[in-house]
Amino acid sequence: MGAPGWPGPQQPQYGYQQPQPGWGQPPPKKKRTGLIITLVAIPVLLLLGGGLTLFLLYQDAHEDGGSPPSNAQLGKACAAVSEQTLARLRTTNPYPGLSSERPEHTSCVWEQTQGRDGEGHRELTFQVTDGRERQPECDGEALQPPQIGTQTCLGLKVYEGDVIREVQLQFLQGGKHYLVQYKGWDVGFLDNVPMPETELVNAVTEVGKEVTGARGQ
């Protein structure tokens, strides 16, 4: 018999005991829906991002290459280059900032008109100078000149890793020195590309013949 107020020894209990919650039960399976959505969403987002980048690069490369119409009137000698020729060369916008007219020298420059002359870049320069003031001297790679005037030279210059090309024609005729220069670049799929050399040469040859009345010869 135990001491008064002190419980006696506990008897061991036998038989089945209720297990504590969570013990002896398999853990619940985690849902993988979020992982699957993530794995599907990542490639889609990458594809959309790449497509958007490609679209922006394409838009930037193929934007209009012209400037708003200047509506400027150039010197009288500039009228020797017809509007039809300017339209074919995509240089219908007079550029007064680089044009001038003096008794011994006239300089005429045209660029592209926004909304009319397309993408890429084109610029045409035509100059007439007193032949006693200047002699033909073309920079760059010498090309075979056309049969216009005397002391004729034709030169090709390249810039920006051959992307921008410029062809210059110079010659003497009737006591005057003539200079015709055409330059620019074309547009590829996502970037600027060089203009064909033949297009540049044909352009300055056409203008040279037109301003001297030798067109069609």
In this predicted structure, what is the pLDDT of residue 44?
66
User: For tokens 């064909």, what's the residue?
Assistant: 196
Query: 89 and 141 in contact (C-beta within 8 Å)?
Result: no
Give the total number of structural domains in the chain: 1
In this predicted structure, what is the pLDDT of residue 6?
42
pTM of the model: 0.73
In this predicted structure, what is the pLDDT of residue 189?
84
In this predicted structure, what is the pLDDT of residue 177?
97
Question: CA–CA separation, 126 vs 101, rounded Å?
Answer: 12
In this predicted structure, what is the pLDDT of residue 40?
63
Which three-class secondary structure string do you get for 109-159? EEECECCCCCCCEEEEEEEEEECCCCCCCCCCEECCCCCCCEEEEEEEEEE
> Is 204 part of any domain?
yes
> Is 51 part of any domain?
no
- Going through the chain in order, the beta strands assigned E by DSSP cover 93-94, 100-102, 105-111, 121-130, 141-142, 150-159, 164-173, 176-187, 192-193
Residues of the chain with pLDDT under 50: 1-4, 6, 9, 12, 14
Question: CA–CA separation, 191 vs 47, rounded Å?
Answer: 21
In this predicted structure, what is the pLDDT of residue 162?
86
> Is 34 part of any domain?
no
> Is 103 part of any domain?
yes
Question: CA–CA separation, 190 vs 212, rounded Å?
Answer: 40
Nearest to 117 by CA among 83, 67, 192: 67
> Is 190 part of any domain?
yes
**Tens digits of residue pLDDT in 110-153:** 999 999 999 999 999 999 999 988 999 999 999 999 999 999 99
φ and ψ at residue 183, rounded to 5 degrees: -145, 165
> Is 172 part of any domain?
yes
Q: What is the CATH number of the domain that holds 110?
A: 2.60.120
Domain that holds residue 134: 76-211
